[in-house]
Amino acid sequence: MGDPQRRDAVRVLVTGASGLLGRVTAQRLLARGDEVTVLQRRPSGLPCSEVLGDIADPSVVARAAVGQEAVVHLAAKVDVTGKWEEYARANIQGTRNVVAACSAEGVERLVHVSSPSVSHAGAPLIGAGAGPADPARARGAYSRSKAVAEQEALDADSAALAVLVLRPHLVWGPGDEQLVARIVERAANGRLPLIGSGTALIDTTYVDNAASALVAGVDACGRVHGEALVVSNGEPRTVDEILRRLCSAAGVPGPRGRVPAHAAWLAGAVVEGTWSAIGRRSTPPLTRFLTEQLTTAHWFDQRRTRSELGWRPEVGLDEGFARLAAWYGGVGTGADLGAGRRQPAHAASRVRM
């Protein structure tokens, strides 16, 4: 008799493998024996087939999709600045190209990677579910474009192409340039104040957990499809704790001073207007969306995600902070910043299985 644990290798395309999450996801698929192809603008250095090009170019995407059984679509423009046309080209047109290529090439499974921000209109989210994507209410060009892309991806769900949307929330880990590096740089330069009280509870996701959830999605897609699921560690912590422990891991000072939430929101509006007026491309120090994210609770009930995917996080936040400290050279462990502190009991009861 055959080995009941044996599984056939899957031919899978990962778009956006030059980013942290895309790279770790591709590595995990390779490690379990899948036949992986990656698509991104620049070489990934991964030991697999590679297609270089723009996700907004339909011919590039069509070439990458040939012979694939599954696609994990991560490629996107992720930033807080830039023209709407840039986000629409990468995030909306890119997703349309992926869906079209999947349909043309007979791909059976599409795991579309989205963001919880597609359904966040600014109100607190406390033990929330995924909620429908809402382009009209989503904040900022990134969130709006991802909301449109998610809707179009789910519209393509069918008997021939199973589409599952996963929304990893605030992914971080060693080598992260989107969240950790920016926080550390600002802290090192003494430009990281707390916005508001710093007591808002938020979910984050260690990168290994986000990647394992996407791999689980590849396996579950077909059985679970036509819906969106939020992915997180399921360990809400305060903004203050998260910022201080990230800084401690990197060996830089924690947040200094406080800016009232209303003042930060007004300042963010001014900064956004200035950046838009002069066409500045750098990341602004503050935006209204960032103010909302740092002052509003947003954490998610993970029970459905875990049951539908047959998945649980492998790395707790405390271990994640320790791994980050080791990556930075062991210059900080966060031991003096409440390493063993957990979320309040009322929060924990909503996310434990």
Read off the tokens for 150. Answer: 């998610």
Q: What is the pLDDT of residue 330?
A: 57
Distances (CA, A) of 114 to 178, 189, 347: 16, 32, 24
DSSP string, 180-201: HHHHHHHHHTT--PEETTS--E
Q: Where are the alpha helices (DSSP H) in 207-316?
A: 207-220, 239-250, 261-278, 288-295, 303-309
Which of 180-184's residues contact partners 24+ apart within 8 Å by CB, and which partners?
A: 180/246, 180/250, 180/324, 182/283, 183/243, 183/246, 183/247, 184/246, 184/247, 184/250, 184/252
Domains of the chain: 11-253+289-351 (3.40.50.720)
DSSP string, 291-320: HHHHHS-EEE--HHHHHHHT---SS-HHHH
CA distance 111 to 106: 15
CA distance 244 to 183: 10
CA distance 1 to 347: 47
Is the pLDDT reported for residue 261 higher than 80? no
Q: What percent of the chain has pLDDT over 90?
A: 64
Residues with catalytic annotation? 142
Q: What is the pLDDT of residue 263?
A: 80
Which of 133-141's residues contact partners 24+ apart within 8 Å by CB, and which partners?
A: 133/228, 139/288, 139/289, 139/292, 140/80, 140/287, 140/289, 141/82, 141/83, 141/84, 141/87
Residue 48: how many other CB atoms lie within 10 Å? 17
Is the pLDDT reported for residue 119 higher than 90? no
Most confident of 127-141, 282-296, 306-320: 306-320
Place of tokens 């979910």: 203
User: Burial code of 233-245, b = ≥16 C-beta within 10 A, e = fewer?
Assistant: bbbbbbbbbbbbb
Mean pLDDT over the full length of the chain = 86
**Per-residue confidence band for 81, with pLDDT thresholds at 50, 70 and 90:** confident
**Per-residue confidence band for 178, with pLDDT thresholds at 50, 70 and 90:** confident
CA distance 343 to 318: 12
pTM of this prediction?
A: 0.88
Strands 237-238 and 201-202: antiparallel
Which residue type does 119 have? S
**Per-residue confidence band for 272, with pLDDT thresholds at 50, 70 and 90:** low
CA distance 71 to 164: 11
Provide the 8-state DSSP code for 245.
Answer: H
Q: What is the pLDDT of residue 3?
A: 47
Read off the tokens for 262. Answer: 């209303």
| Mean pLDDT of the region 149-161 | 97
312-351, pLDDT tens digit by residue? 999 999 999 999 999 998 544 433 333 333 333 323 222 2
274-288, pLDDT tens digit by residue? 766 666 666 766 666
| Mean pLDDT of the region 212-236 | 97
Q: What is the pLDDT of residue 121?
A: 72
Q: What is the pLDDT of residue 37?
A: 98
Is the pLDDT reported for residue 6 higher than 70? no
CA distance 189 to 265: 22
Among 65, 32, 30, CA closest to 44 = 30
Query: With the C-alpha atoms ordered 7, 64, 144, 282, is the resulting torsion angle positive or negative?
Result: positive
CA distance 40 to 60: 10
| Mean pLDDT of the region 155-181 | 95
